[in-house]
């Protein structure tokens, strides 16, 4: 597992995708440089018949970049109408391993070197940022500020705006008198300025 500063991150793609802090950013990175169908396959829960029809068969709506042997093995099971999970499990495990190995060898390093990851890492490394900024913008709702910061690091300004607005409406008692009336866009500008985000 890679350790950067004082933070240890998972290196297995499945663990990275599930990680609360960097999972969404990792998925965004993969879908921009890799086959998004394969990322969705790793995260999905499907019955074997759907997997074959959607991802593997020759005219599948979505495509997995698989060795011909795996495709042939899948077709052989489909041709005899064997849709029992037990029959497919060894093949599905090989397909998953094939995709994971590809991600680990060809894409993980570029993710950990990407400017977007390094920006988010800097915020995670200084985990007191949310507390400090919450105090400076006039709220005790640290969770909302933390979630808004994460959204801003992913360039999801609309989501950050929504998070702050909902907090102001639902957690009024956690905001000081002036800040609870301030428009979320104004608060976001303050947060961006304090974090050095443009």
State the residue range of the domain holding 146.
Answer: 126-195
Is 91 in the same domain as 59? Answer: yes
Is 47 in the same domain as 97? Answer: yes
Asked if residue 48 is part of any domain, the answer here is: yes
Q: Which residues contact 146 (CB under 8 A, 6 or more apart)?
A: 130
Number of domains in the chain: 2
Is 99 in the same domain as 136? Answer: no
Asked if residue 111 is part of any domain, the answer here is: no
Asked if residue 64 is part of any domain, the answer here is: yes
Is 91 in the same domain as 43? Answer: yes
Structural Rg of the chain based on CA atoms: 22
Q: Where is the domain boundary, 106, 135, 165?
A: 106
pLDDT in tens, 70-79: 999 999 999 9
Q: Is the pTM of this model over 0.85?
A: no
Asked if residue 86 is part of any domain, the answer here is: yes
pLDDT in tens, 108-146: 999 998 988 988 887 776 666 788 889 999 999 999 998
Asked if residue 15 is part of any domain, the answer here is: no
pLDDT at 141: 94
pLDDT at 90: 95
7: pLDDT strictly greater than 70:
yes
Asked if residue 18 is part of any domain, the answer here is: no
Is 97 in the same domain as 138? Answer: no
Q: Where is the domain boundary, 76, 106, 136?
A: 106
Tokens describing residue 173: 């008692």
Contact 23, 30 (CB under 8 A): no
Is 87 in the same domain as 147? Answer: no
3-state secondary structure of 60: coil
Q: Which residues contact 10 (CB under 8 A, 6 or more apart)?
A: 1, 16, 19
Asked if residue 137 is part of any domain, the answer here is: yes
pLDDT at 63: 81
């Amino acid at each position: 597992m890679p350790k950067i500063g004082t933070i240890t991150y998972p290196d297995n793609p499945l663990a990275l995708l599930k990680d609360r802090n960097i999972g969404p950013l990792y998925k965004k990175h993969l879908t921009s440089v890799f086959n998004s169908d394969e990322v969705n396959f790793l995260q999905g829960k499907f019955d074997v018949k759907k997997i074959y029809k959607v991802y593997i068969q020759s005219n599948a709506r979505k495509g997995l970049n698989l060795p011909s042997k795996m495709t042939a093995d899948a077709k052989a099971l489909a041709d005899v109408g064997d849709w029992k999970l037990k029959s497919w499990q060894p093949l599905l495990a090989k397909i998953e391993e094939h995709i994971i190995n590809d991600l680990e060898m060809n894409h993980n390093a570029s993710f950990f070197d990407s400017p977007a990851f390094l920006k988010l890492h800097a915020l995670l490394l200084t985990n007191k940022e949310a507390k400090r900024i919450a105090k400076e913008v006039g709220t005790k709702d640290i969770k909302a500020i933390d979630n808004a910061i994460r959204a801003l690091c992913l360039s999801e300004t609309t989501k950050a705006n929504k998070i702050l607005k909902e907090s102001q409406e639902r957690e009024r008692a956690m905001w000081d008198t002036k800040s609870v009336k301030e428009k979320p866009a104004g608060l976001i500008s303050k947060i961006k300025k304090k974090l050095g985000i443009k």
